[in-house]
Amino acid sequence: MRRLSYLAGATLMLICLAAHPAAAQGKPELWNGSHWQTMSQEIKVAYIKGIGNMADFEVAAGGAGRGPCISRAFVEELKNLTITQIIQEVDKFYQDHPEQRAMPVIEVVLRRCTKLCPPEAPAKAAK
């Protein structure tokens, strides 16, 4: 059953990549807020499921004794959120911070939905 889940996640990710205009250009890039705003809800769900499935796979494949990895922490951090909640957090971030549309979606997920990479504190003004 777990293999089927990984296969479904990989398939969804490939569909996302094929359906997105950046994929047609043939250049790999991290999807950012500009891309995110053009995605349908189905593509957003597939994106979040894809990164979640990849993290689940890495954790399962790692086995005992493997050093800590970001995927293990990612899985632990996001296990209490629904996909809809994660999408809403990403949507809200880009709506509230249009000047940061160049920030990759994965960075927004890690910084806003987890404690793994907390946002930097605003720079303090010089006295």
- In sequence order, the 6+-apart residues with CB closer than 8 A to the CB of 41 are 87
Amino acid at 41: Q
Q: How many CB atoms lie within 10 A of CB 67?
A: 6
pLDDT tens-digit series, residues 41-55: 999 999 999 988 888
- pLDDT mean over 18-26: 53
Rounded distance between C-alpha atoms, residue 115 and residue 113, angstroms = 7
DSSP state of 117: S
Of 4, 76, 91, 7, nearest to 45 by C-alpha is: 91
Backbone torsions φ then ψ of 86, nearest 5 degrees: -65, -45
Over 90: is that where the pLDDT of 38 sits? Answer: yes
Q: Name the most confidently modeled range: 4-18, 50-64, 91-105.
A: 91-105
The total number of residues written for the chain in this structure:
127
How many angstroms separate the most distant Cα atoms in the chain? 60
Over 90: is that where the pLDDT of 8 sits? Answer: no
Amino acid at 71: S
Domain boundaries, the chain: 2-113
Q: What's the pLDDT at 17?
A: 47
